[in-house]
């Protein structure tokens, strides 16, 4: 079981209305806790996130269409669908 603690960053979690200092505990690649986390047990890694945004669950869906060398690729919804595969 891999346990990683992100600590000291600005935690933004719109679903819970949280925007402020906080921690995120990741266990086996999944968010196990967010907020004020008191991790007990062994941690494989602790990452100091001071001065950084920590946004658990955020997925960046933007794509770049028609950039070289793919300038002939389709644009619009068809291009976006292909780019996100």
Instruction: For the chain of 85 residues, list the mean pLDDT of each consecutive stretch of 10.
Output: 94 89 94 86 94 87 66 65 60
Please tell me whether residues 24 and 44 are part of one structural domain. yes
Please tell me whether residues 13 and 47 are part of one structural domain. yes
Task: Determine how many CB atoms are found less than 10 A away from the CB of residue 34.
Answer: 20
Structure tokens at 77: 């919804």
Structure tokens at 36: 């004020």
Calculate the CA 54 to chain-centre distance. Answer: 7
* pTM as predicted: 0.68
75 SS3 class: coil
82 SS3 class: helix
Say what the pLDDT of residue 32 is. 92
Residue 75 belongs to domain spanning: 59-85
Say what the pLDDT of residue 74 is. 64
Please tell me whether residues 42 and 69 are part of one structural domain. no
Say what the pLDDT of residue 68 is. 65
Say what the pLDDT of residue 40 is. 78
Please tell me whether residues 10 and 49 are part of one structural domain. yes
CATH of the domain at 22: 2.30.40.10
Say what the pLDDT of residue 15 is. 81
Distance CA 85, CA 83 (A): 6
Task: Determine how many CB atoms are found less than 10 A away from the CB of residue 80.
Answer: 14
- Domains of the chain: total: 2
């Amino acid at each position: 079981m891999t346990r990683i603690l992100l600590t000291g960053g600005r935690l933004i979690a719109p679903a819970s209305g949280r925007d402020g200092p906080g921690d995120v505990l990741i266990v086996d690649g999944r968010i196990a806790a967010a907020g004020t986390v008191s991790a007990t047990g062994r941690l494989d890694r602790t990452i100091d996130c001071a001065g950084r945004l920590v946004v658990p669950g955020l997925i960046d869906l933007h794509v770049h269409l028609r950039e070289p060398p793919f300038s002939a690729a389709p644009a619009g919804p068809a291009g976006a669908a292909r780019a996100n595969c």
